Chain A
Amino acid sequence: MAAGVAAWLPFARAAAIGWMPVANLPMPVAPTEKSKRQDELIILNVSGRRFQTWRNTLDRYPDTLLGSSEKEFFYNEETKEYFFDRDPDVFRSVLNFYRTGKLHYPRYECISSYDEELAFFGIVPEIIGDCCYEEYKDRKRENDAKLPNMTFRETMWRAFENPHTSTMALVFYYVTGFFIAVSVITNVVETVPCGSAPNQKEVPCGERYTVAFFCMDTACVMIFTVEYLMRLFAAPSRYRFMRSVMSIIDVVAILPYYIGLVMTDNEDVSGAFVTLRVFRVFRIFKFSRHSQGLRILGYTLKSCASELGFLLFSLTMAIIIFATVMFYAEKGSSSSKFTSIPASFWYTIVTMTTLGYGDMVPKTIAGKIFGSICSLSGVLVIALPVPVIVSNFSRIYHQNQRADKRRAQKVQKARLARIRISKTGSSSAFLHSKRNGLFNEALELTSSTEEEQRLTKSTSLLESQHHHLLHCLEKTTNHEFVDEQYYQQSYLEAGLQNYPSRSPSLSSQDGVTGTCCTRRSKKHHTPLPNASAPAHMQPLTHTHTHQQGLQELSTIHIQPLSTSRSSLNMRVDEPAPLNCQSSQITTAIISIPTPPVTTPEGDAHLPAGPTHQNVVKVSAL
């Protein structure tokens, strides 16, 4: 039970009077306060600084050091105070937690010392309030990241993969980005015609300022090489790194330069050398490390390979068809540009993509007709697969965004789950004490008050009052709180109960069983009895006719007490014995004579009929 609401417990209990006229059962006895203590101030001496608070304030959280009897170990008899040899500054936050119910993380505190203090006082850090939780988590993460056992290689790899981890990584990231841009721009500017001397023809800048461009290129390539080598060194799996797309792009980007260095003086292959320069444009793909959108685009294209393939295939088909048709249509006309089918390919492509350069134009009427059909169909053929690719791209892009968001939410959820566990801790504490309580009641009849006190000492007064309140609610509604497990079991059985009600015709056909089932259902709220505690007595379960509808309800994982029960419970020739067997929950058998229930049972159904009469089975299907 949380914070300061402990102060409202008297109110909640008083308001419970509103249930009383509605309840049909007598209410349980309220827990008595054994000693009506006046609320007293207690002094907490933390390394010399004295804090004072009410005892009740500390009692709000009985599972921490200060709220439980553990603090008695620190009690100083002479000075009548509790002495803790801990940090008084952090203790301030700890005590404020008791007072306000919210735990705050002071920013100036060292995260590990704060954690230690919390651990000492038995407080779980997850309950830090929303206001301070982000800060706490960030600091914790930073602290954990400073693991001394990360090798230099691992640190470097992490810096490469995630530039935001350290300043050096960020600098490196931006420097490489800058040089990629410089290199690409250099390649472009190289070919622009610079102003020339008036008597010479226009030369591109590359040839005019050869040295400058060469130096620029060398610098860029050196940076790229160093980067590549460093990544290669830091990669956890070098083989896998070398096979990855990015590293291939890196290699392709710098290779032309080296090949050029090697081949400078060989005139024959200078043509090839010029071609190699084309590969320098691949440097632009290095930007995909810097841009997530580019990566997603690449990934989309990869994932849409089938659609792209389809597009290509259908286009090829159409091109071939229309090229052939156009060729034969234009064959007749003179000075036709459609000299061969491959030559017509160019026309078809230009027309289908609605470019229409106009360098090849049909002149015959048939040619024009087929040409128009070609251009119309081109629009369709191209328009079809494109939306698929677009939607794929958008899906993957949004998926990526959502993945990021989900990662942030997961952290939040884990924290909420922890808080919820502590909440269910309180409700499970109630169930736990209920089971103890039954035991207690049995004891109360026989034992003395000391034993009783011993048993109830474990729960604090606040808790016992809260439990009493919940107990009153149970009595009012005539239902009990159970935990998830029992609820699942009984829910499944409740599902089984529907079958009896839905197949009255079935049971009435059997005549005899119909009456016994209906009679039983009139008797109790829950026609199909379940058992969860030993103290309950339930009548028999007539499962025979209901088996037919219940086969699909498969195993409920409950331990069968004994096999004899299963035979008691069903017909020998029933098609679904396994269900029954596996789904027995039995906790006790209490034998009492129950004449009216068993008599209509009669003849054909259960082989062990007579034994029923004095056995009341606590069992479910």
Chain B
Amino acid sequence: MDGKRVETISARVDAAVSSPDSVEDELELSAVRHRPEGLEQLEAQTRFSRKELQILYRGFKNECPSGVVNEETFKDIYSQFFPQGDASTYAHFLFNAFDTDHNGSVSFEDFVMGLSILLRGTVQEKLNWAFNLYDINKDGYITKEEMLDIMKAIYDMMGKCTYPVLKEETPRQHVEVFFQKMDKNKDGVVTIDEFIDCCQNDENIMRSMHLFENVL
């Protein structure tokens, strides 16, 4: 990615001190640090203002001093918001959705690009993002199994203590309802067009897409 620099900091044991035939190798410490692109470039690429980017980066850097989030940290952070349930599965899917270049870590650019779509994007872009989230293997189709996984992950976040009591088949039923709504040609998968079409016709969904616009 442009501007990404992985720096290795190596400190060597002083060669002059050690004897030529010393077995003691150089002590190499390597720390992976990631510095994001400049503020101007990010401003151009996303729809955030300079101030907003500053606030975002400060929060991001505070939690992840190394500049990248790995999946474990991501899961931890996300789980803090849902104390009653287990948010790790959904966090895993979210992580994959944010990690657009699939390198196992989310840098600040990935983070802020994702947020830009979610908070400042058009409805089309948001729906696209959601479709990408649901499509676990990124093949362009949402199958029932993928949707079931996502649904179970969402229900896991509710935890145990719910009313009414969560039952085994609740996620499955929800998936059925979803597919009934979305799968127009009843071929068992939902494509991106079916998805976007159907969502645009649904008033509730349209309204809720604008819900978080003033988040930042």
Contact = CB atoms under 8 A, between A and B. Distances in A.
A23 B216 contact: no
B154 A8 contact: no
B82 A7 contact: no
A256 to B, nearest CB: 64
A21 B127 contact: yes
B39 interface: no
B115 A10 contact: yes
Interface in B106-120: 111, 114-115, 118-119
A271 interface: no
Given A7-B60, A27-B207, A33-B214, A481 B164 contact: no
Contacts of A484: 161
Interface centre among A25, A477, A486 (most CB of B within 10 A): A477
A482 B162 contact: yes
Contact of B209 (A11, A17, A424, A486): A17
Contacts of B136: none
Interface string B152-187: 001101111111111100100010011000000000
Interface stretch (B6-14, B21-29, B30-38, B73-81): B73-81
A469 interface: yes
A10 B129 CA distance: 17
Interface centre among B59, B115, B177 (most CB of A within 10 A): B59
Given A1-B80, A23-B208, A487 B161 contact: yes
A103 to B, nearest CB: 16
A426 B56 CA distance: 24
B215 A483 contact: no
A33 B150 CA distance: 31
A612 to B, nearest CB: 23
B199 A481 contact: no
B42 interface: no
A490 B164 contact: yes
B165 A494 contact: yes
Interface centre among B150, B158, B165, B167 (most CB of A within 10 A): B165
A22 B161 contact: no
Contact of B166 (A5, A469, A479): A479
Interface in A410-454: 423-424, 426-427
Contacts of B44: none
A487 B163 contact: yes
Interface residues of A, number: 60
B55 A39 contact: yes
Contacts of A494: 164-165, 167
Contacts of A474: 158
Contact of A473 (B158, B160, B161, B164): B158
Contacts of B84: 427, 481
A62 B65 CA distance: 25
B53 interface: no
A39 B216 CA distance: 12
Interface in B69-125: 77-78, 80-84, 94, 97, 111, 114-115, 118-119
A4 B161 contact: no
Interface residues of B, number: 59
A8 B211 contact: no
Given A5-B81, A11-B111, A24-B177, A18 B133 contact: yes
B41 interface: no
Interface in A525-577: 525-526, 530, 532
B179 to A, nearest CB: 11
B212 A16 contact: yes
A41 interface: no
A27 B127 CA distance: 17
Given A22-B154, A530-B164, A11 B115 contact: yes
Contacts of B94: 15, 18
B163 A476 contact: no
Contacts of A23: 204-205, 208
A1 B127 CA distance: 30
A100 B177 CA distance: 44
A14 B158 CA distance: 18
B96 to A, nearest CB: 12
B1 to A, nearest CB: 20
A14 B82 contact: no
A480 B58 contact: no
A19 B90 CA distance: 11
A61 to B, nearest CB: 14
A301 interface: no
A25 B204 contact: yes
A26 B164 contact: no
A466 interface: yes
B193 interface: no
Nearest to A14: B118
A1 B78 CA distance: 11
A486 B164 contact: no
Contact of A19 (B114, B129, B154, B214): B154
A528 to B, nearest CB: 10
B19 interface: no
A9 interface: yes
A20 interface: yes
Contacts of A21: 127, 130, 134, 195, 199, 205
A452 to B, nearest CB: 18
A7 to B, nearest CB: 3
A426 B216 CA distance: 23
B151 A22 contact: yes
Interface centre among B58, B59, B81, B174 (most CB of A within 10 A): B81
A2 interface: yes
Interface centre among A14, A487, A491, A525 (most CB of B within 10 A): A14
A20 B162 contact: no
B145 interface: no
Contacts of A2: 80
25 contacts: A5-B63, A8-B81, A10-B115, A11-B115, A14-B114, A14-B115, A14-B119, A17-B209, A17-B211, A18-B97, A20-B209, A21-B127, A21-B199, A22-B178, A26-B204, A27-B211, A30-B211, A30-B215, A473-B157, A479-B163, A481-B159, A483-B161, A487-B163, A494-B167, A530-B164
Interface of A: 1-2, 4-5, 7-27, 30, 32-33, 38-39, 99-100, 423-424, 426-427, 466, 469-470, 472-474, 476-484, 486-487, 490-491, 494, 525-526, 530, 532
Given A473-B82, A490-B164, 17 more contacts: A7-B60, A8-B78, A10-B216, A15-B118, A17-B118, A21-B130, A22-B150, A26-B208, A27-B208, A30-B215, A423-B83, A474-B158, A477-B154, A478-B174, A487-B165, A494-B164, A530-B163
6 closest Cβ contacts across the A-B interface? Answer: A7-B59, A487-B161, A14-B118, A479-B162, A526-B164, A27-B208
